[in-house]
Amino acid sequence: MRYVPLMQNIMITGASRGIGLEFVRQYNADGWRIFACCRTPGQASELNDIAARSDGRVTVHQLDVDQGSSVAALKAEIGDQPFDVLLNNAGIMGQRNAARGGIDYDAWRGCLVTNAMGPMRVAEAFADNVAASTQKKLITISSRMGSIGETSATNSIVYRSSKAAVNMVMKILANDLGPQGVIAICVHPGWVRTDMGGSSADISPEESAGGIRNVIAGLTAADNGGFRNYDGGVIQW
C-alpha cells in the first residue's frame, strides 16, 4: 500500500495504551499523519476510536515487534512511505525487581527480545523510510534504569539490562545512519502513571508525551546518538 503524505508523518509502535496512546492523541491533535501500530488492533478500542474520528489521518496497523514476520508484513504494507519520526515505543517490564537468586531467565530472554531486538527489527526495516523524510528522526523510548553510569541498583536486572542493550543498539544505529542525516536518540520517559509505571508514579502520560514531543521537535544533527530525559536533560550512558 502506498500512502499520500498529509503534512508530517509519524510511525508509533506500542500505540494502543499508555504513553504510546497519548502520543497518538497529541500528534493527532496537531494534524500529523499517524501510522499507529500495536499487537492486537481488534482490542485497541481507544486507539480505533481516535482513528475513526481522524478523517483518515490515523491508521491502525498490526505489529508484533517480537516477530520478524510481523515487521516484514508491515514493511510490505507501508512500502516506501517516508516517516519524519519513527517512534519505537513498544516495550515490556519483564520480571519486576529481578535480583540475584531469583531471576526468571525465560522472562529475561523475552524482555531482551521485545525491548532490544524489537526496536532493532523495526529500525532495520524502516530506516530507509526515515532517511527519505524531511525530519529524519529515529526515537526509541528507553529508560534511565538502563544507564550504566547512573546506576547503583542491586535489582531489576531483567528490565535494566534490556534498556542498556537497546541504548547500545541505538547508539550504533546513530553512528550508522548519521551520514544519511538521520538523528537517532534514546529518551527516558520519566516514571509515568501507566500500567507499567503504576498509579504512584511521578508524572502523567500527558506530561511525559508532551515533554518528549518537545525534545523531538528541537532535535538537530548535533543531538544524534544522544540519551535524553523527557524534559530535555542529558542522561549518562
Q: What residue ranges do the domains of the chain occupy?
A: 9-229
Q: Place 203 in a pLDDT band, splitting at 50, 70 and 90.
A: confident
Q: Is the pLDDT of residue 2 over 90?
A: no
The CATH code for residues 9-229 is 3.40.50.720
What tens digit of pLDDT does each residue of 212-227 get? 999 999 999 999 999 9
* Per-residue pLDDT, 4: 41
C-alpha cell at 48: 480505533
pTM for this model (two decimals): 0.93
Angle between helices 68-78 and 118-131 (to 10 degrees): 20
CB 130 within 8 A of CB 86: yes
Dist. CA 196–CA 205, nearest whole Å: 11
**Contacts of 119 by beta carbon, 8 Å cutoff, 6+ apart:** 13, 65, 88, 90, 140, 166, 169, 170
What tens digit of pLDDT does each residue of 26-48 get? 999 999 999 999 999 999 999 99
Amino acid code (one letter) for 230: Y
Q: Is the pLDDT of residue 1 over 50?
A: no
Q: pLDDT over 90 for what percent of the chain?
A: 91
